[in-house]
Structure 1
Amino acid sequence: MGIDEKYMFRCLQLAKKGEGYTRPNPMVGAVIVHNGKIIGEGYHRKYGEPHAEVNAVRSVKDPSLLPQSTLYVSLEPCSHYGKTPPCSAMIISHKIPRVVIAVTDPNPKVAGNGIRMLRENGVDVTVGILEKEARELNRSFFVNQLYCRPYIILKWAQSKDGYLDRHRTSHESAPPAMLSNTLTSILVHRTRTQVQGIMVGTRTALLDNPQLTARKWYGSNPVRIIIDRENKIPADFRIFRPDAPTLVFTEKAPPLSLDNKFVKYIELDFSKDILIPLLKAIYKENIYSVLVEGGSHLLSSFIEKQLWDEAFIEITDTALQDGIKSPEIQGQDIDIQKYSGSVQIHLKSKITRNFL
């Protein structure tokens, strides 16, 4: 690992400290080096607060060293006024002579403009140090900016003979097949805290009466996203409890009297394919990452339309012999983990893999 890579690796370490707090902004870390010594560090702590570069500069005890220093940053410095002033202008004002950047910002408001501003003002700029790692860290942000949709994670558990569940007619007729074990169930709840939304369809909601909360891991509950074309889900089901907000996508919203402050209905035209309008509507609600835990039909719809980014598939030792077939999916294996009585496969989609 070279000198630039060493300091950029530290930037990525710092950036991760902002996980869960910076959305819709990316996680960014910055390091300032003078004569081979780190004299300043910073990261973007929270949306609306100063960016990583600003925090790094503020941490320098002797600002007179800045004109002889190098700034390392994991994402291109911004060049526009938003919640905060442009970082590129701040770098120029402090006369920092060299800036090393991991990756160009995909945000159309930046997209090379920050680099251009720096170079036009005499700053020596290097781009592409640990670029792959920087893209991976902010993969959700890159999907948001490039496709204007939420980052989609698919999740399901299946039996070793390829079934999601037994055939059932209601949540009272028979319990769902319990395929996940204690550990993998906890991991699912951890993932729920890392996304902003969790989605199921009508059938899953009716058969399982799920809570869709993160009860087994510390963190915030995601927004529940329910597809219920005909408003079939009873008002006393657990998805309507006030422990998390709920978005219901339907063909016709019920009378206002049936609504409450925790539930919002959004109408869609179900005579056409709804996935793209659905994702646009979710994105408009400022939900930038969604975990899809629906049934075979909903999961397969995302797979067929190539509207997914990652997938977690748990394959258990249980055999059901009959029931609801699991979806078929192809992607790049990222990781395979063995747990007690099950194997979890982590996949990345072709589309996401191409730009990461």
Structure 2
Amino acid sequence: MAETFTREYDAMRRALALAATPGVPLHPNPRVGCVLLGPDGTLVGEGYHHGAGMPHAEVEALRSAGDRARGATAVVTLEPCNHTGRTGPCAQALIAAGVARVVIAQRDPNPQAAGGMETLRAAGVEVDAGLLADEAAEVNRAWTFAHRTGRPYVTWKFATTLDGRSAASDGTSRWVSSPPARRDTHLLRALCDTMLVGTNTVAVDDPQLTVRDDEDRPLPRGAQPLRVVLGERDLPADRRVFDDAAPTLRLRSHDPEAALRVLYAEHDRHHVFLEGGPTLAAAFVKAGLVDEVVTYVAPMLLGAGRSAVGKLGIRTIADALRLELVDSIVVGAGAEANVRLIMRPTREGTTMGGTA
């Protein structure tokens, strides 16, 4: 029994590594890995999902195993799907291949695809779930969060001076962050499916809100996040956010929660990268809709100017919204060095959103 558990544990580690294969599109499907173990515990097949419309991880693994899949144990990072979309249901594929046992890390939070466990059991397949479930959920943190809560995961990114300023007193803000920090930001943008700013940012800063490479060239249109402009203010048609480099959506509202619900329910969006100004940031923070904070701290002082975030209604240090530091690195070197901090709300004592 212990030997079987060890083999399945090691196989799940391998499946998680497959799921996290670099270059796999993060939208709209989850990343999934699958490993097939023969009756003697040897690896007979493996696979991972390459993106929407491509075979799912279980089907990839079954194809690589061939006839050796009969009687095998499938170790998969996400509950096999139970519906027909662009591809058929993986639960039925495992049954048809004669798989005897399925070990699942994470139950599927998407109600449209869930139910694979029950289908497998009804067909006489032995099923266990929960092995390395937290690690599996982390591989698809934003996707999991979105399906559990009915709204996208929100990462708020901003750059600030040592004294917490995002712009000088004359309004100039380019550039608080260094070139290396801006290049790093594009790597983080590429992990999201939505860029969101307010109308004031579009009017004043005229950002393009695309993902660009080290030579400041945009990635192909198909790889670009959806650009979303939130607010009721009319904007000039010549703003760069309205060019053809990426799709753009106008949401004429001042309600962050309603905007996120629309993005999830009507546009299948799972991860919002919030790059608006201090007023929009404050609106999301006060509404409890920020799930992750990324800030680039520049080694400069302004002494006055626009704060990185607007008023939050906090009057005493005891009411401060506290964050947990999950990662910190220095981006760049010398005069171009910025400190990048990634933080998430603490599990207790905060109203600043939830965790996946």
TM-score by length of 2: 0.84
| 2:317 paired residue number | none
Instruction: Tell whether the 8 Å contact from 2:290 to 2:353 is kept in structure 1 after alignment.
Output: no
Cα distance, 1:20 vs. partner?
4.7
Residue 346 of structure 1 is matched in structure 2 by 342
CA separation in 1, counterparts of 2:276 and 2:244?
21
Once residues 93 and 245 of structure 2 are traced to their aligned partners in structure 1, the CA distance between those partners, rounded to angstroms, is: 43
Structure 2 counterpart of 1:154: 156
Specify the SS of the correspondent of 1:60: helix
Report the equivalent of 1:334.
326
Write the distance in 1 (CA, Å) between the matches of 2:29 and 2:212. 27
Equivalent-residue separation in structure 1 for 2:49 and 2:304 (angstroms): 50
Q: 1:16 aligns with which of 7, 20, 29?
A: 20
Query: Is the aligned partner of 1:76 residue 2:68?
Result: no
Match of 1:115 in 2: 117
- Cα gap change, 1:168/1:241 in structure 2, threshold over 3 Å: closer, same or farther? farther
1:105 maps to amino acid: D
Task: Look up the match of 1:264.
Answer: none
Q: What CA distance in whole angstroms lies between the structure 2 residues aligned with 1:330 and 1:205? A: 30
Asked whether the equivalents of residues 145 and 355 of structure 2 are also in contact (C-alpha less than 8 Å), the reply is no
Letter of the structure 1 residue corresponding to residue 117 of structure 2: I
Question: Among residues 176, 180, 191, which one is paired with 1:179 in the alignment?
Answer: 176
The amino acid of 1:200's aligned partner reads V
Query: After the TM superposition, which of the residue ranges 30-39 and 12-21 deviates more from structure 2?
Result: 12-21
- TM-score normalised by L of structure 1: 0.84
Tell me the residue number matched to 2:202: 205
Measured in 2, the distance between the counterparts of 1:353 and 1:98 equals 38
Q: 1:297 aligns with which of 263, 276, 279?
A: 279
Residue 41 of structure 1: aligned partner: 46
Amino acid of the structure 2 residue aligned with 1:54: V
Q: Does structure 2 retain, via aligned residues, the 8 Å contact 1:77–1:88?
A: yes
Distance 1:303 1:291, change over 3 A: same
Question: Are 1:22 and 1:44, in contact at CA under 8 Å, matched by a contact in 2?
Answer: no
Correspondences of 1:185-264 after superposition (within 5 Å): 185-217=182-214, 219=219, 220-231=223-234, 233-250=235-252
CA deviations on 1:318-345 (whole Å, 9 max, x unpaired) are 1110011123753322111123332111
Post-superposition offset of 1:288: 2.6
Task: Give me the whole-angstrom Cα distance separating, in 2, the residues matched to 1:355 and 1:277.
Answer: 19
Which of 39, 59, 63 lines up with 1:58 in the alignment?
A: 63
Work out the CA distance in 2 between the residues paired with 1:74 and 1:337: 30
Give me the whole-angstrom Cα distance separating, in 1, the residues matched to 2:241 and 2:305: 25
CA contact (8 A) 1:168 1:207 kept: no
1:115-167 residue CA offsets vs partner (Å, 9 max, x unmatched): 12222332222211111110001111112211222221110011101111123
Q: Distance in 2 between matches of 1:196 and 1:123?
A: 36
How many Å separate the matches in 1 of 2:51 and 2:105? 21
Aligned sequence identity (%): 33
Corresponding position of 1:259: none
Change beyond 3 A, Cα 1:83–1:8: same
Distance change (3 Å), C-alpha of 1:227 and 1:168 = farther
User: Structure 1 residue 314 and structure 2 residue 296: aligned?
Assistant: yes
What is the rounded CA distance, in whole Å, between the counterparts of 2:257 and 2:96 in structure 1?
44
Q: Counterparts of 1:22 and 1:209 in 2: how far apart (Å)?
A: 27
Distance 1:326 1:181 in 2: 16
Residue 28 of structure 1 deviates from its aligned partner by 0.6
The alignment partner of 1:83 has SS state of coil
The farther-off stretch of 182-191 and 119-128 is 119-128
Offset of residue 350 of structure 1: 4.9
Opposite residue 346 of structure 1, the aligned amino acid is I
The range that moved more, 143-152 or 78-87, is 78-87
Give the match for residue 168 of structure 2: 166
Structure 2, unaligned stretches of length 5 or more? 313-320
1:26 aligned partner: 30
Q: Distance in 2 between matches of 1:239 and 1:90?
A: 44
User: Do the aligned residues in 2 keep the contact of 1:41 with 1:59 (CA within 8 Å)?
Assistant: yes
Q: Indicate the RMSD between aligned Cα atoms, in angstroms.
A: 2.3
Q: Structure 1, unaligned stretches of length 5 or more? A: 170-174, 251-267
Please give the alpha-carbon distance, in whole angstroms, between the structure 2 residues aligned to 1:239 and 1:129.
44
